[in-house]
Structure 1
């Protein structure tokens, strides 16, 4: 494998950054460069990260945007491929990185993105989003829309030089980048074997703000996109029904009875508030973002994890000295 640079954006991630870095140095791929871009953390994030073999970069909070932090990290990277992960994720398996990078054997692949699942703190409704966005098995062989997610993704560094991230966006810089890469004739692909755990434990206000800023970005990327009040009502109700259906089958309905509508309300009210323009976009992309999980049950057991080495996080507070 060619040298890989891993770029991590972080701000006050002392609860998570050590576990992620521990998972990275336990990867079967060893020729790694880890770059941490901190945007003014006031907790122990930088101190914890500095115990590991990383390259630390800083950006002032007032200068931060998702695209700007990524461009700073990508500019410092020397690897042929750049892997982008959020500071509050961690890989499940030791071969996660190998799986994520493998599709680049095809020179037409510009970007890969992997599966995401939550942990015990993740809201049930968001678990359903992960199941919809990142299925256990690859369902689309030739993806024609630019959906991807920079919590667990990889790109070609040579292509980033042609297409730097848009620093003006309030979010979805990953989708914007993928859209431009596809326009140049490249392809993106989903890699379900490259699984990470994405830790979210947000307040309703933070959920609302996250979806609002992403809607603002989406309308910038697709100026003709629309989201009427009737869309808010329809998608809130249909997703609520879907979540209750699956929670009942999973025997967790009572414990999630109130958290499900709160999450969905914040999600779609934030989305509605983020939109001001009208129009249409690719129906596949709209279905990916908004439509609920189907009211049908399939065997959820995955064959992907058989005979794969898992990562030991029991001593993640004790970093190794080198990769």
Structure 2
């Protein structure tokens, strides 16, 4: 198995970083290094991370972008494969890294991403999003560029040709995958490489997340539009679907308002991030 470097972007992650690093230390794959890219944390993130065998590099908050932080971490890494993980995820199993790296045995694979799921504090609609985006069925030669850098790995030699776009407000992973596919490389989805992704955001942050991702998507795919009708259709359709599944799970009444608010912020943020087309 080739050596891998883990690149973890951090900002005020004292509640989560210990669990992730502890999970990494228990992995069956031991030929690894850990790079922490901290963007000005003011809590105990750096001191907690320093208890582990990590290399810490810093980026000033005013210089931060998702792509710039990743490029900084990748330049500091020495592994043939670079694993990218959000600071607020943690692995469920000790073979997470081995499963994530397995598809790289095929030289045409440039990127592998793994399954994500929520935990007990995850909002009901976010559980539905994870289930839709990260199914149980693997896809070793994915045709579309969707991926997610909360749980992914890339081939270093491809990154050297294709550094991350530092100007994007999000979706730097999708942009990178799209450009890699243009060069003939393949994307693989590996559900056996599973992590828990802890999202405990207020609704204002959910709105901001989907808005900035919509802004980025418009730069990556200029032909994409999100009409007012798309907002209405997707908001109503997903809200009704969530209500139905919550009813079947006997969880409707305790999630009634939360489902409405989540889907409203998700699709209103998306609509606000794309120039309106009437």
TM-score norm. by structure 1 comes to 0.85
Q: Summarize the alignment of residues 105-120 of structure 1 with structure 2, pairs less than 5 Å apart.
A: 105-120=105-120
The corresponding residue for 1:130 is 130
Task: Sort the Cα spacing of 1:267 and 1:273 in 2 relative to 1 into closer, same or farther, 3 A.
Answer: same
The corresponding residue for 2:270 is 271
- Specify the SS of the correspondent of 2:98: helix
The answer as to whether partners of 1:205 and 1:266 remain within 8 angstroms in 2 is: yes
Q: Which runs of 5+ in 1 are unaligned?
A: 279-323
The answer as to whether partners of 1:219 and 1:277 remain within 8 angstroms in 2 is: no
The corresponding residue for 2:191 is 192
- Displacement of 1:141 in angstroms is 5.0
Count of aligned residue pairs for this structure pair: 277
Q: Which structure dedicates a bigger proportion of its chain to helix?
A: 2
TM-score norm. by structure 2 comes to 0.98
The corresponding residue for 1:69 is 69
The answer as to whether partners of 1:57 and 1:73 remain within 8 angstroms in 2 is: yes
What do residues 132-157 of structure 1 show as CA deviations (whole Å, max 9, x unaligned)? 0001222x453211000000000000
The corresponding residue for 2:104 is 104
Question: Which deviates further from its counterpart, 244-253 or 9-18?
Answer: 244-253
The corresponding residue for 1:39 is 39
Distance 2:2 2:104 in 1: 11
Distance 1:246 1:8 in 2: 34
Distance 2:66 2:156 in 1: 17
The corresponding residue for 2:12 is 12
Runs of 4+ that moved beyond 4 A: none
What do residues 106-162 of structure 1 show as CA deviations (whole Å, max 9, x unaligned)? 011010000000111111001000000001222x45321100000000000010000
Q: Summarize the alignment of residues 19-34 of structure 1 with structure 2, pairs less than 5 Å apart.
A: 19-34=19-34
Say yes or no: does 1:171 pair with 2:170.
Answer: yes
Larger RCO: 1 or 2 (CA < 8 Å, sep 6+): 1
Distance 2:249 2:276 in 1: 39
Q: Which runs of 5+ in 2 are unaligned?
A: none
- Displacement of 1:249 in angstroms is 1.1
Distance 2:11 2:142 in 1: 32
Task: Sort the Cα spacing of 1:277 and 1:75 in 2 relative to 1 into closer, same or farther, 3 A.
Answer: farther
The corresponding residue for 1:220 is 219
- Displacement of 1:277 in angstroms is 6.9
Distance 1:71 1:81 in 2: 14
The corresponding residue for 1:153 is 152
Q: Which structure dedicates a bigger proportion of its chain to strand?
A: 2
The answer as to whether partners of 2:80 and 2:155 remain within 8 angstroms in 1 is: yes
The answer as to whether partners of 1:224 and 1:277 remain within 8 angstroms in 2 is: no
